[in-house]
Structure 1
Amino acid sequence: MDILIESTRQFEKDMSNLTDKERLYVVNKINDYVNSFSEHKKVLYQKLRRIPLNIPNLDKYDSSLYTMRIGKDLRIIITIDEDPIFEQIIFTLFRVVKFKDLRKAYLGIAESLYQDLKRENKELLSVS
């Protein structure tokens, strides 16, 4: 399978606010993770965490939004989408934040990602 890594503008902005040493560390950790994903997928998924979401109607779906620990104080907010039809795995890097800012950033991204799902469910309820 092909592996694609995509990053958001906010991730790039977050990276630019890190020290050179932190940036290098983040890039190396991402590369290590991505390069070993195919062989050690189960173990690597166990290293990822999800923050419980309080988004109505998401319970029918699995969120692909995770946090990845990068050292003591940094976390990456990431999605991993495995697409068997196009034979690719897509890693999308949303944010790199300090641990203290993680929950707020994670919930902001989740709200943004799942707003269409919430709107779609409201429309289905009003049509019924």
Structure 2
Amino acid sequence: MDVLIESTQDFEKDLKSLSDPERNIAIQKINDCAALFPEHQSNGYRKLRRICLPSGLSGYESSVFTLRVSQKLRVILAVDEDPIFDQFIFTLFRVVKRDEIEQVYRGIAESLYQEIRHHDRELATIS
């Protein structure tokens, strides 16, 4: 399986705000983790910490995680497996300080939850 890494504008903005050494470490940690997935995905998942999405997700399981970059920095990302295209997709949402993670994550979770609810309503309308 291949790995596709996508990033949001917020992630890119966060990355640009880091010092060069912090930015290099963040990129290296992301690449190291992603490199584990094609052959040893269980080792890749061990580097991640799952974040729970709000309840009531109509059977969806959270694919949102944090990756520890350093003592004070974390990356909030999603990892999804796409068997049709035989790839893992990493979506990089934010790079945040450890003490800001809950507040930032709450905003990401609300956005994702709204997208899921909207998608479910569209499917219900079609059926």
Q: Offset of 1:123 from its aligned partner? A: 8.7
**Is 66-75 or 43-52 further displaced after alignment?**
43-52
Alpha-carbon separation, structure 2, partners of 1:120 and 1:30: 29
What per-residue deviation string (whole Å, max 9, x for no partner) do you get for residues 71-123 of structure 1? 11110000011111111111110000000110111111011011133356679
Which whole-Å CA distance do the structure 2 matches of 1:27 and 1:111 have between them? 26
SS of the equivalent of 1:112 reads helix
Instruction: Work out the percentage of aligned pairs sharing the same amino acid.
Output: 53
> Would you say 1:25 and 2:25 are equivalent positions?
yes
* Residue identity opposite 2:82 in structure 1: D
1: distance between equivalents of 2:29 and 2:111? 26
CA–CA distance in structure 2, aligned partners of residues 96 and 59 of structure 1: 29
| Counterpart for residue 104 of structure 1 | 103
Aligned to 2:79: 80
Matches within 5 A, 1:44-63: 44-53=44-53, 55-58=54-57, 60-63=59-62
Counterpart code for 1:84: P
Q: How far apart, in 1, do the equivalents of 2:24 and 2:119 lie?
A: 41
Paired AA for residue 22 in structure 2? E
Give distance in 1, aligned partners of 2:39 and 2:121: 41
Structure 1, unaligned stretches of length 5 or more? none
TM-score, normalised by the number of residues in structure 2: 0.86
Per-residue Cα deviation, 1:1-53 (whole angstroms, up to 9, x for no partner):
22111000000000111000100111111111111222221122122112333
Question: Structure 1 length as normaliser, TM-score?
Answer: 0.86
Contact 1:57 1:121 in 2 (8 A): no
Cα distance in 1 for partners of 2:32, 2:38 equals 11
Give the partner amino acid of 1:47.
K
- Distance in 2 (CA, whole Å) between partners of 1:33 and 1:118 is 30
Look up the match of 1:41.
41
Residue 94 of structure 2 corresponds to 95
RMSD: 2.0
